[in-house]
Amino acid sequence: MRSVVLPGPVQLPRAAALVLRGQTFDSSRPAVMAILNRTSDSFWAGNRHVALDDALAALHEAVADGADIVDVGGVRAGQEGEQVSAAQEKDRVLPLLEAARTAYPDLVLSLDTWRSEVAEAAGGLLDLVNDTWAGADPELVRVAARTGAGVVCSHTGGLPPRTDPVAVRYADEEGDDELAVVRDVLRVLTRGAHTALDAGVPAERILVDPTLDFGKTTRHSLTTLRHTADVAALGFPVLQALSRKDFVGETLDLEADERLEGTLAATAVAAWLGTTVFRAHDVRATRRVVDMVASIRGDRPPALSVRGVPPG
């Protein structure tokens, strides 16, 4: 009988390591970042925690469900909803960050803000500054460096904070709109990461986020997600914020409450293609998906392996 010749192994993208608070997250240990919004107007009603007690209950649940990082926000990302001053944002996020640090000394804490003065006020509590608006405040990355925090570099298509995309189009010298968005994402993320390096943030504390939905149509987001491996090839740990986003809803024609399965499908693809950190509303489901993908990839051993194994 002729032996079967197997092709060479598929070369999977490697997730660059992220090191925060003495913990390392990589392909063998992907991180789940729980979203915790102290707002009344977040796009998904399931993550509106106006009262501090409610926010703390959500924090405890997220940690119990397997969150490695908790990302605290005080302002809705989109242009709809209430206007929030920097002082109001501090009043929302600082008490929660303080309580979280007291309750969980080893938990990685992140702040979702584009304002340097808010990050400065929270500096002693933070491990990560999640700048979802691509350096709109150029001082923000320097605050992260001064306080020893990591930073998320994002891509928003050049839009300022709290701007929803309208009539978005990407074009470059290649004349290919579908791939032009990917090239723009790679260019902007490279620039952002090197700005962080120049400011003094170590490479292992710099995350790059292609920032789906922001400055993008649904087709742009789907294309960018397919090219996650190209983002990972930049050499920095990748963050994907996919949870219940509009690109999932438009792809499947579903409202935010019905987008879990689509989110998890996108999460599995992103994990397979080299993402390190997954920002999620549904922590337990996301934890299970990314751990399962890590094991299928061969990066993480199964928690148990007793089926078909002789006893003893």
**Number of alpha helices (DSSP H) and beta strands (DSSP E) in the chain:** 10, 10
Per the structure, the count of domains in the chain is 1
Residue 73, strand partner residues? 37, 112
pLDDT number for residue 41: 81
The helix (run of H) or strand (run of E) holding residue 212 is none
List, for residues 159-213, the tens digit of each pLDDT value: 999 998 888 889 876 666 679 999 999 999 999 999 999 999 999 999 999 999 9
Helices (H), 33-168: 52-64, 86-103, 116-121, 139-147
- Residue, of 158 and 62, whose pLDDT is higher: 62
Residue 53, phi then psi, degrees to nearest 5: -60, -40
Q: Does 302 map to a domain?
A: no
Q: Does 310 map to a domain?
A: no
Query: 74 and 113 in contact (C-beta within 8 Å)?
Result: yes
Q: Residues 293-305: what's their mean pLDDT?
A: 96
Residue 95's pLDDT band, with cuts at 50, 70 and 90, is very high
pLDDT number for residue 10: 77
Q: Say what percent of the chain tops pLDDT 90.
A: 82
Q: Does 259 map to a domain?
A: yes
Q: What is the DSSP string of 135-200?
A: TSSTHHHHHHHHHT-EEEEE--TTPPTT----S-----TT--HHHHHHHHHHHHHHHHHHHHHHHT
Residue 142's pLDDT band, with cuts at 50, 70 and 90, is very high
pLDDT number for residue 79: 75
Q: Does 309 map to a domain?
A: no
Q: Does 119 map to a domain?
A: yes
Helix, strand, or coil (residue 291): helix
Per-residue burial over 5-34, b = 16 or more CB atoms within 10 Å of its CB, e = otherwise: eeeeeeebbbbbbbebeeeebbbebbbbbb
pLDDT above 90 for 44: no
pLDDT number for residue 193: 98
pLDDT above 90 for 279: yes
Strand order in the sheet with 31-37: 206-209, 150-154, 128-130, 108-112, 69-73, 31-37, 277-280, 239-241
Residue 46's pLDDT band, with cuts at 50, 70 and 90, is confident
pLDDT above 70 for 267: yes
pLDDT number for residue 69: 98
Q: Residues 74-78: what's their mean pLDDT?
A: 90
Q: Does 3 map to a domain?
A: no
What is the span of the domain harbouring residue 33? 18-297
List, for residues 10-29, the tens digit of each pLDDT value: 788 988 999 999 999 999 99
Token readout for 166 is: 């309208």
CATH number at residue 251: 3.20.20.20
Q: How far apart are CA 82 and CA 253, in angstroms?
A: 27
- 31-37 vs 23-25, strand pairing mode: unpaired
Q: Does 196 map to a domain?
A: yes
pLDDT above 80 for 96: yes
pTM for the model: 0.94
Query: 155 and 135 in contact (C-beta within 8 Å)?
Result: no
Q: Does 182 map to a domain?
A: yes
Query: 105 and 126 in contact (C-beta within 8 Å)?
Result: no
pLDDT above 70 for 1: no
Q: Residues 116-134: what's their mean pLDDT?
A: 96
pLDDT number for residue 176: 66
pLDDT above 80 for 129: yes
